[in-house]
Structure 1
């Protein structure tokens, strides 16, 4: 991770760029126009750097955490209203979600897409790889935006459901109005197709593995299809990704890494930050999350959590810059398992699930799990796969989206004497547009 930070610092120093602090609202000044491959690569590095760190904030909204009232005062001030889903009138100290940063990253990606063909040096392969990364950046940013600030994709209503503004050109005089959910997904899928046609790197070396590659593009394609319940497409993209990279950390090996570390065997793309130290220091593992592990036989439990001495557990996979993960192979195994189960390919679903479990469980317990899973019907198997996602991806930012795309269950959060209930199907499963963005762009209020 030190290599990544040094590389970003060096590349950012090569180019002075506008901050675009009010992108979609005001025009940036003193724009420097890049011309060389080095300058365009620095522009792309700037886009990577701007990707917002949302995992901490999204995790605080889930059933993974218990916020304890004797946490540091500053941590309480930053996260309490997120934990209690107080989105309409949060305290001024509450951390903001990354609306503006998403659009900043899109701004730079748009410039590379529009102007990258004018690069004065660099090979054809280098230019295509760079532009492919820009298309993938634009796809991922719009995908994350629509899944935070719009209702979950529904085939029957997505053509009319309000989404988020789509930004594909550098036109700072344009009227940015929200597109429908279907239109946003349409752009995401179009950019994925265009980007995949240009990308030619399958895997970057450590220190540059925050960048998009053919492998991570296929992983994103699988995730997009999963969120749309397009099971055939999800399975195909997951299989394509696993054909390129299928390694898993074997937790039976004492030297194994936590799988979400940037340099683990599983890492496909190490871009997005893990949860911050403020969250690690402010929450216990919830009773709901504790309850899905066999504490004695699931090797993840001792790897992912530690006893704080009071009988409560705190998370170990966070609070350090080494925890950076946007895609890793375990996700593709579980996408393939879920899609196979939904398609009634139950033996295939069990096989994908067990390929992960054998790397996570003690051998004797794994044998009993194989027998248990063999007796499951389709509905039971799908439920087990979703529970496995809960175990595997805890505190990595997946849980909020898994809750949104499945049952949107009731969640109860308690802080001191205050108890707040997120009802099943609650509108608060969708974040509101930031008030600052509405103030600056009245089109968002319509």
Structure 2
């Protein structure tokens, strides 16, 4: 089985850059499993994320992060490592590779995972095994292939809802739908084709996951993963009724959110040595999927010897409600972040939403926010006040689980019009920070201007501006990939 895994990784890397007959010397019979159990093992090893810094840099692109000038050499190396991303440089991936021990090539990594999915999908129908096992494995592979294509197209192509683009002509990303290695270098499909394929994969996976995947552990795709990803897909496509339909399924199956009041000390401060769980921990009522178990933020947000190189921005920190004394009324500010003290004040650093370490993945809280936003968008279109009330119900339930409702610090909100939409988007930012949402939310909400200040030499800060609707909202394909594939314009 180990040999199979190594071969599939090589296959994925080769296909991602468009090379040809690398594997002619190998017998296909030697690397293709024949049972559903074998394919399930291959899926775990080759189609799911492993603990690597896949997207550890993503928040550096956003308004959720700001930089300092550290004097400690380790901190300064973190600053240099992240500088290319933080300034939206065309050679950001090359600069990451120069400054990290583990090169970060999101493009090649995701396509290697897609290859693992494709090997499973090309062989599962003929594999030996019962219907439920084969259905479960196939549903997982379809879901994960859709997920990786979805992430790629939202990193390396223009937003689906960008004003003025022709989806049938706009370049997306290459679609990889087979494990066969071809001589021809892969070409970009259109944005319309990519999103349609993602949708088709998820719609094919959904009934399989509903029938056979409900009991999968939360390190694997399950029915909630598939339905929530459909809700997210339609949110980006602005198909509001469908957002609600698929979020409904997730919430009906798993309606309870973790109550942060239950895990804080009497003072209202979160103490890691006393904590028993957080929103991504196994005992959390709302966890759907978790994939990062170690400190993925380490290369950029190294904690010790303040000031740190990068930290959560004051703008983000100020979004969390305070009481009259300036203390946090919103428990998320204490529960969701690593923090440190500097000059008598507390600085928040990066998201840490599990007791056992940093985590990313998927939570039911997203389904509530997806549904609330879709309800508000429809309400603004047609004036239906029942949709406004439904959105308020979702938002107030979420907030009630994030404040200590036994005190007067918590109050339900009652807003309308554009003010309600603005509040919902801010609530999404507060809740889903450092979970790989903010950059994509900025893209689909008008690609606003972002200003970053970077100091690489003491006393010499330099201002960098990402202009509104800038082409830099599309990330550059790593040069070692584009140089080997002339079809990637």
Once the two structures are superposed, residues 159-178 of structure 1 have per-residue CA deviations (whole angstroms, 9 ceiling, x without a partner) of: 22110001112232244110
Q: What residue is the counterpart of 2:35 in the other structure?
A: 36
8 Å CA contact 2:289, 2:362 repeated in 1: yes
Aligned residue for 2:451, secondary structure, equals strand
Give per-residue Cα distances to partners, 1:145-191, cap 9 Å, x unaligned: 10000000038522221100011122322441101111100000000
Q: TM-score, normalised by structure 2?
A: 0.82
Are 1:47 and 1:105, in contact at CA under 8 Å, matched by a contact in 2? yes
Count how many residue pairs are aligned between Structure 1 and Structure 2. Answer: 429
Are 2:422 and 1:430 aligned? no
Residue ranges of structure 2 left out of the alignment (5+ in a row): 264-274, 303-308, 323-327, 380-386, 456-460
Matches of 1:396 and 1:365, distance apart in 2: 29
Match of 1:17 among 3, 7, 15: 7
The CA deviation at 1:57 is 1.0
Aligned match for 1:377, one of 406, 410, 416? 416
SS of the residue corresponding to residue 265 of structure 1 reads coil
d(CA) in 1 for partners of 2:181, 2:259: 50
Distance 1:348 1:256 in 2: 33
Over 3 Å counting, the alpha-carbon distance change for 1:12 and 1:237 in structure 2 is: farther
Q: Kindly tell me: are residues 158 and 14 of structure 1, through their superposed partners in 2, closer, same or farther at Cα, counting changes over 3 Å?
A: closer
Q: Structure 1 stretches of 5 or more lacking a match?
A: 1-10
The answer to whether structure 1 residue 302 and structure 2 residue 334 are counterparts is yes
Q: Once superposed, what is the RMSD of the aligned Cα atoms?
A: 2.5
Alignment of 1:79-94 (within 5 A): 79-88=82-91, 90-91=94-95, 92-93=97-98
1:52 deviates by 6.6
Residue 204 of structure 1 deviates from its aligned partner by 4.0
Cα displacement string for residues 274-303 of structure 1 (whole angstroms, at most 9, x for unaligned residues): 742233324222111011011420010111
Partner of 2:300: 279
Q: Does residue 414 of structure 1 match 2:453?
A: yes
TM-superposed CA distance for 1:14, in Å, is 8.0
Deviations 1:18-62 (A, max 9, x none): 432332322453461211233211211121145974442111111
Deviations along 1:96-120, one digit per CA (max 9) or x if unpaired, are: 3410111111111111111112223
- State the alpha-carbon separation in 2 of the partners of residues 367 and 346 from structure 1: 24
> 2:383 corresponds to which residue?
none
Contact 1:57 1:82 in 2 (8 A): yes
CA distance in 1, matches of 2:291, 2:66: 27
Q: Show the counterpart of 1:183.
A: 193
Please say if 1:48 is aligned against 2:48. yes
The answer to whether the aligner puts 1:109 opposite 2:117 as a matched pair is yes
Separation in 2 of the partners of 1:51 and 1:201?
27
1:226-268 per-position Cα deviation (integer Å, ceiling 9, x unaligned): 0111100001100111111122110111256331345422111
Q: Give 3-state SS (helix, strand or coil) of 2:173's partner.
A: strand
1:76/1:53 CA distance change after superposition, 3 Å: same
Q: Which residue number in structure 1 is paired with residue 267 of structure 2?
A: none
Contact 1:215 1:241 in 2 (8 A): yes
Return closer, same or farther for 1:102/1:305 CA change in 2, 3 Å cut-off: closer
Cα deviations across residues 109-146 of structure 1 (Å, max 9, x unaligned)?
111111112223x2110011101111111111111110
Residues 55, 396 of structure 1: 8 Å contact kept: no
* C-alpha separation in 1, matches of 2:408 and 2:152: 38
Contact 2:403–2:410 (8 Å) recurs in 1: no
TM-score, reference length from structure 1: 0.89
Q: Secondary structure at the match of 2:172?
A: strand
Q: Secondary structure at the match of 1:72?
A: helix
Distance 1:413 1:318, change over 3 A: farther
Partner of residue 3, structure 1: none
- Among candidates 321, 345, 348, match of residue 313 of structure 1: 348
Counterpart selection for 2:106 from 91, 98, 101:
98
Worse-matched range after superposition: 318-327 or 387-396: 318-327
Residues of 2 paired with 1:266 and 1:308: CA distance? 28
2:238 is the alignment partner of 1:229? yes
Structure 1 pair 320–48 and aligned structure 2 pair: CA distance change class (3 A): farther
3-state secondary structure, aligned to 1:164: coil
1:347 aligned onto 2:386:
no
Deviations 1:352-381 (A, max 9, x none): 1011000001326777641xx31x222111
